[in-house]
Structure 1
Amino acid sequence: MFGKGIRLFTVFGFEIKVDPSWLIIAGLVVWSLAVGFFPHYLEGLRPVDYWKLAVVGAFGLFFSILFHEFWHSWVARRLGMQIKGITLFVFGGVAEMQEEPKSPQNEFWIAIAGPLASLFLALVFYLVYQMGLNTELGQGVTSVFMYLALINVILAVFNLIPAFPMDGGRILRAVLWKVKKDQRWATRIASNFGAAFGLVLIGLGLLNMLTGNLVGGVWYVLIGMFIRFAAKTSYQRMVFKSALEGETIRGLMKKPVTVSGALSLQELVEDYVYKYHHKMFPVLDGQEVQGCITTRQVGTVDRTNWPKILVSEVMKRCSSENAVHPDEDVTQVLAKMNSTGQSRMMVVEHDRLVGIVSLKDILGYLTARMELDGDRGLE
């Protein structure tokens, strides 16, 4: 969903990253607190003091979102799921789960963990705020705790709206899944709620812009568009999962176009790249797989040297990054393509090249399955 992001630290085995887009929301939060929230509740302070409180409040929001996502991740890991880490981005945070929950019960507990954590944090901040009113803590400090208590309640309540893939939408999916024993159907219903809620936010945003609240309106529209997009892609992933369940590469692989390591790069380009338009070619020595050569690798060599340099001198040796087994699950191969950035992979069995599989072939199969199943996605 996101790029690599900026790695900050690791907590209990969870890698914490910040997407560059988070800087946008961080800046807006600091600005809105410094010129709006704190001056409204605390009159008479110097402008620099408002900005200091705003920075502290922004760090508190950072911690609150991280705390919310941490409990999603911790519960998921306790239930046996693999969690890559937590990434903060412009619209909040996301626990990067490597797989879907295997039961509605697991889905429910993972989804509810975040809002419960936010409500707990809201209670803690509120108690500190109340204690601060009866002590010598400055008004500035207590106002920060009041803001953090309020923002955590908002985080919990907003996330409980039954709009997939938000927490409330995941709870809705868990309930529907439990009732009908059909995860795909439950995902479709919950995703439709999410897409509809996205439209509502977009409508509210346009209304706000028409009434003069341009900045607030734009944010409503952006969040609505994001939720709508996330709902549609979440359902699409479920359709893909259903279509690919039990499928192996053996049924999708095609006969490969191979080259010899004795070819020059010039011959490779003229006789193979321009003819077949592939980005990767397996390199064979007789029947034995030596490796593969890609157009990107050829592109790193000065064009004037192509006639003098052999494919065998530039090719990349076989590894788990560029070769798969014919009985490997299609979803695993897709994940491998995503992580390595490769769209074509060799299919190797007992050190023999038995086929080639491409992202284009897999997507073509998925499209055909969806048309045959009559699934047109969300409206």
Structure 2
Amino acid sequence: MADPDPRPGGDKPVEEAPSSRVPGTIKVGSIAGSDVLVTPSWFLIAALIAWLMAPQIEAVEPGLGWLTYVAGFAFAIVLYGAVLLHEAAHAIVAKRLGYPVGVIMLHFLGGATAVEKEARRPRDEFWIAVVGPLVSLAVAAAGFGVSFLTPDGLIGLIVAGLWVTNLFVGVLNLVPGLPLDGGRVLKAGVWGVSGNINRGSIVAGWAGRVVAIIVLLWPFIQGQIIGVQPDLTRYVVAVIIGIFLWSGASAAINSAKVRLRLPLLVARDLARRTLAVPADLPLAEAVRRAQEAEAGSIVTVTSGGEPIGLVHEGALLATPEDRRPWMATSTVTRRLEDGLTLPADIDGEALIQAISKTPAPEYLLVEPDGSIYGVLVTSDVDAAFRAGA
């Protein structure tokens, strides 16, 4: 695929995504123009981390009393600071490549960066995805090096916990399965080889489902593999992570399957033949002429031939036949407002976006010269989409 600008991002201005504060979240700052939000669930996991760390802190710094839990909470903050670096790397690289980024969210499972647009090239997908785990591994390496210089005690425990945790996060996120970063790397690879981003998503999504199953089964088989019997906490963590991975992988697969069907939706192929009639023509006469011309839709026009309205099929069918001779066709039409006129060649995702932007039962399709081609009925689009499923 040709690169419109050989430099990453080039001179193209980065489109800023609108800041959307999720209800209940707390803004703690911003990075590269993106708000950093913390969900209430983070405080629960931070408290859990403080509770789990308390025995280890007590072992290296006995006699702290209630400050033991304060130290544990401080470790949670340091740990999520490293998670924030991971997410910030995604945001910075995405913006450097010209993609708008929304908020950076910290939650109980880690973090998420809202890159608002699909990658244009496989290499963009690769770099946006891989940079996060690389930063985590870099933090792990730095922490490991510093651990040789720190004295035994609380600081040494925090440094050790930091590098071990970031090593785990970095390696885990490189596992090739969506919704993990490694899944996006796999998606980029399949996309680059096949030339189809949706096939990349499907392959990476199925890989993510396999990873989810392994995570769910791990507590049951780890005793046979490493000789360690899991406790209840490990089962709970495995279930939470497994469900998260399965849900994310399934969502990616379903979305990709939908996108694969979109190219089948071509407005020109789905259009109904239309008949143009004066707005004041009796409705019965307009219907008679449409049946004679084997037209599936009716458009009202001015005396100069300019389209001004679309006959609403539902309103027409609801009008009793004995009243139609005394009603003007305009009484069952919808005026052609902005968004109701589409180019006849529109298709795929552009067609779906246009319909979603201005929902309506019918749309007028016009040629590049402005002449009427036909009418697109939303129910016909829905039927064609289901037929391609």
TM band (smaller chain):
0.5 to 0.7
Q: 1:142 to 1:235 in 2, by over 3 A?
A: same
Contact 1:10 1:16 survives alignment (8 Å): yes
Displacement of 1:227: 0.6
Displacement of 1:83: 1.8
Alignment of 1:140 onto 2:154: yes
Matches within 5 A, 1:1-379: 4-5=22-23, 6-8=25-27, 9-35=29-55, 37-39=56-58, 42=60, 44-133=62-151, 139-206=153-220, 213-245=231-263, 247=265, 256=312, 326=342, 331=349, 344=359, 365-370=384-389
Displacement of 1:182: 3.1
Contact 1:14 1:84 survives alignment (8 Å): yes
Contact 1:24 1:90 survives alignment (8 Å): yes
Q: Per-residue displacement from partner, 1:76-108 (whole Å, max 9, x unpaired)?
A: 221122222222233221111222222221121
Aligned length: 303
Using the alignment, how far apart are the partners of 1:125 and 1:102 within structure 2?
36
Contact 1:163 1:194 survives alignment (8 Å): yes
Tell me, what secondary structure is at the counterpart of 1:47? Answer: coil
Q: Quote the residue 2:280 is aligned against.
A: none
Displacement of 1:234: 0.6
Runs of 4+ in 1 over 6 A off after TM superposition: 252-255, 284-288, 332-338, 346-350
Displacement of 1:11: 1.7
Q: Single out whichever of 79-88 and 109-118 deviates more from structure 2.
A: 79-88
Contact 1:205 1:218 survives alignment (8 Å): no
Using the alignment, how far apart are the partners of 1:256 and 1:211 within structure 2?
68
Contact 1:15 1:84 survives alignment (8 Å): yes
Using the alignment, how far apart are the partners of 2:118 and 2:180 within structure 1?
14
Q: Per-residue displacement from partner, 1:267-321 (whole Å, max 9, x unpaired)?
A: xxxx9xxxxxxxxxxxx9996769xxxxxxxxxxxxxxxxxxxxxxxxxxx99xx
Displacement of 1:21: 3.4
The one-letter code of the counterpart of 2:184 is R
Q: 1:324 to 1:15 in 2, by over 3 A?
A: farther
Q: Per-residue displacement from partner, 1:129-186 (whole Å, max 9, x unpaired)?
A: 43333xxxx8222322221122111110110111222111222222222233333333
Q: Single out whichever of 60-69 and 247-256 deviates more from structure 2.
A: 247-256
Contact 1:87 1:95 survives alignment (8 Å): yes
Tell me, what secondary structure is at the counterpart of 1:116? Answer: helix
Displacement of 1:224: 0.9
Using the alignment, how far apart are the partners of 1:199 and 1:19 within structure 2?
27
Which stretches in structure 1 are left out of the alignment for 5+ residues?
Answer: 260-270, 272-283, 291-317, 371-379
Using the alignment, how far apart are the partners of 1:229 and 1:336 within structure 2?
29
Aligned CA RMSD, in angstroms, stands at 4.0
Q: Per-residue displacement from partner, 1:238-288 (whole Å, max 9, x unpaired)?
A: 2222322485788599975799xxxxxxxxxxx9xxxxxxxxxxxx99967
Using the alignment, how far apart are the partners of 1:60 and 1:357 within structure 2?
53
Using the alignment, how far apart are the partners of 2:168 and 2:147 within structure 1?
17
TM-score by length of 1: 0.66
The one-letter code of the counterpart of 2:241 is I
Q: Per-residue displacement from partner, 1:337-367 (whole Å, max 9, x unpaired)?
A: 99x9x9x5577779xxx88859xx8766543
TM-score by length of 2: 0.64
Using the alignment, how far apart are the partners of 1:245 and 1:286 within structure 2?
33
Contact 2:58 2:64 survives alignment (8 Å): no
Tell me, what secondary structure is at the counterpart of 1:85? Answer: strand
Identity %, equivalent residues: 24
Q: Single out whichever of 162-171 and 209-218 deviates more from structure 2.
A: 209-218
Q: 1:200 to 1:139 in 2, by over 3 A?
A: same
Tell me, what secondary structure is at the counterpart of 2:128? Answer: helix
Displacement of 1:331: 4.4
The one-letter code of the counterpart of 2:46 is A
Q: 1:334 to 1:206 in 2, by over 3 A?
A: farther
Using the alignment, how far apart are the partners of 2:204 and 2:143 within structure 1?
33
Q: 1:102 to 1:121 in 2, by over 3 A?
A: same
Tell me, what secondary structure is at the counterpart of 2:75? Answer: helix
Tell me, what secondary structure is at the counterpart of 1:175? Answer: helix
Using the alignment, how far apart are the partners of 1:229 and 1:288 within structure 2?
42
Using the alignment, how far apart are the partners of 1:336 and 1:120 within structure 2?
44
Using the alignment, how far apart are the partners of 1:357 and 1:24 within structure 2?
46
